[in-house]
Amino acid sequence: MPREFELCPGRRVGGDQPCFIIAEIGQNHQGDLDIARRMIRMAKECGADCAKFQKSELEHKFNKKALERPYTSKHSWGKTYGEHKRHLEFSHDQYRELKKYAEEIGIFFTASGMDEMAVEFLHELDVPFFKVGSGDTNNFPYLEKTAKKGRPMVISSGMQSMNTMHQVYQIVKPINPNFCFLQCTSAYPLQPEDVNLRVILAYQSAFPDIPIGYSGHETGIAISVAAVAMGAKVVERHVTLDKTWKGSDHQASLEPNELAELVKAIRTVEKAMGSPIKQLLPCEMACNEKLGKSVVAKVTIPEGTVLTLDMLTVKVGEPKGFPPEAIFDLVGQKVKRHIEEDETITEQAVENHVKKVKC
């Protein structure tokens, strides 16, 4: 099994640990602190492990021309992209309020640091782990500085190649062994044919000593549940209070009822993964007693007869006798009493029979 580590105080990921579920609030709070609090509570009530935001220090994430360019989208909160982003960006004090609120209601709180200065602030804020968004996964100086902070890292891989992910691994691993990769495709909403869940298996093969997870931007929950069945140890999904709200992420986000259903489905699948050992289970005994078949005499068999295959058949019998898989072992055995046609063949009727133990 992939190694496990403590992602948050008292909460480990990887190995046989339950999947860690991140409710990505991002900027779906509309720049409203009260909505942000409501979303944190919603994440908690739906059973998510962590409420996550996105923190930027805008002058460090964008150059001046990027902030000054006109932004006329129907999702815009300002005339320029800078005005739009400033509307959605919480201050340091507001982040402190939100983290305190999350702690009060009992859910982990973190954010993606969208630039190096944002990472500095989140480190000061004492978040349990850093989330590296796909846009910074190939930003190697950023990765190196973030890894040196010593906090666990969850690294998304949208827009990246396997070659890049090998480079990321080689940069982060010697500095900070406590990290995981999330398979991710950066499209909103994401179409099923572009999800590529098999990358989870490729990551598990290429990086066997770290946990692998999934960050999804698709609609619905089925694909995310499938990711857990394939071994995802962290699942991140965008969440919203209303998909019809203004903002480009809402359409690819889960509303509260969907998030609750996702958490429930993941926990059900984890139980269903069970054991790799195939054996008759206690829960199957009733069905086996009712419908399990036995070896039965196809013809009348006199006492002292040496059994041949054409004397035997398989039916649901009363009482129970030899199971069907024992029929070839009975060939060549001698019966020590008369057996009627259609009678179950029992151990008491066969001479010196040694019962083989099932493996």
The reply to whether 74 and 41 lie within a common domain is: yes
The reply to whether 45 and 27 lie within a common domain is: yes
- Is residue 60 one of the residues assigned to a domain? yes
Measured distance CA(246)–CA(269) in Å, rounded: 34
Q: How many domains does the chain have?
A: 2
* Six-digit token string for 132: 């590296």
Q: Point out the domain boundary residue: 273, 305, 336.
A: 273
Residue 354 has pLDDT above 90, yes or no: no
Helices (H), the chain: 33-45, 58-61, 64-68, 81-88, 92-105, 116-125, 140-147, 162-172, 198-206, 222-229, 256-273, 285-291, 327-330
The reply to whether 241 and 99 lie within a common domain is: yes
- Is residue 111 one of the residues assigned to a domain? yes
The reply to whether 248 and 328 lie within a common domain is: no
Q: Point out the domain boundary residue: 243, 273, 303.
A: 273
- Is residue 208 one of the residues assigned to a domain? yes
The reply to whether 79 and 140 lie within a common domain is: yes
Residue 297 has pLDDT above 70, yes or no: yes
Residue 356 has pLDDT above 90, yes or no: no
The reply to whether 241 and 305 lie within a common domain is: no
- Is residue 358 one of the residues assigned to a domain? no
The reply to whether 111 and 10 lie within a common domain is: yes
The reply to whether 102 and 33 lie within a common domain is: yes
- In terms of residue numbers, what domain contains 33? 5-273
pTM of the full predicted structure?
Answer: 0.91
Confidence band, pLDDT 50/70/90 cuts, at residue 353: low
